[in-house]
């Protein structure tokens, strides 16, 4: 049986918008779930490289921006200390510190439009794939992909 060499995880706002409690409690619940999920997948796929994409900062859920940023920081810290996790922070793509990149979203401001998806893939997803292929000699990914 063949196993994937690289697995991507996207943190989405659905992971935390329905949680109850303080921001710190929501971060803790979200992170506990993710730690358990990553550990279980690593157990099932011990040689796979697990890539954790940051949650995008969404104009349609702007009330959760600070919470999303806290979760992104916690994910980055977890990936930094876990040898099988790689973190990709794409939050700057959608939030420039002063405002959102509304032009990258479909109506509602929660999902990327085609232009946003291409930018995300070209600037964030493809580079980490290329880095992992090079760093770990995963040339079979290039041949199969």
Mean pLDDT over each residue of the chain, to the nearest integer? 94
Is residue 137 included in any domain, yes or no?
yes
Q: What is the CATH number of the domain that holds 75?
A: 3.40.50.1110
- How many CB atoms lie under 10 A from the CB of residue 54? 23
Residue 112 CA, distance from chain mean position? 14
Is residue 1 included in any domain, yes or no?
no
Rounded (10°) angle between helices 23-44 and 65-81: 40
- pLDDT, tens only, 102-124: 999 999 999 999 999 999 999 99
Tell whether the model's pLDDT for residue 145 goes beyond 80.
no
How many domains does the structure of the chain reveal? 1
Integer angstrom CA distances of residue 103 from 12, 58, 99: 19, 12, 11
Domain with 10, as residue range(s), is 6-144
- pLDDT, tens only, 28-59: 999 999 999 999 999 999 999 999 999 999 99
Q: Tell which residue, 112, 34, 117, 108, has the closest CA to residue 71.
A: 34
């Amino acid at each position: 049986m063949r196993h994937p060499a690289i697995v991507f995880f996207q943190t989405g706002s659905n992971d935390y918008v329905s949680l109850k409690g303080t921001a710190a409690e929501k971060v803790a619940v979200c992170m506990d779930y993710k730690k358990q999920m990553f550990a279980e997948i690593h157990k099932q796929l011990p040689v796979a490289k697990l890539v954790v994409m940051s949650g995008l900062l969404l104009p349609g859920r702007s009330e959760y921006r600070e919470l999303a940023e806290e979760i992104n920081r916690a994910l980055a810290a977890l990936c930094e200390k876990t040898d099988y996790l790689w973190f990709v922070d794409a939050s700057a793509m959608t939030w420039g510190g002063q405002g959102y990149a509304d032009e990258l979203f479909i109506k509602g401001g929660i999902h990327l439009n085609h232009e946003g998806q291409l930018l995300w893939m070209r600037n964030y997803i493809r580079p980490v794939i290329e880095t992992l292929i090079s760093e770990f000699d995963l040339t079979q990914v290039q041949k199969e992909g």
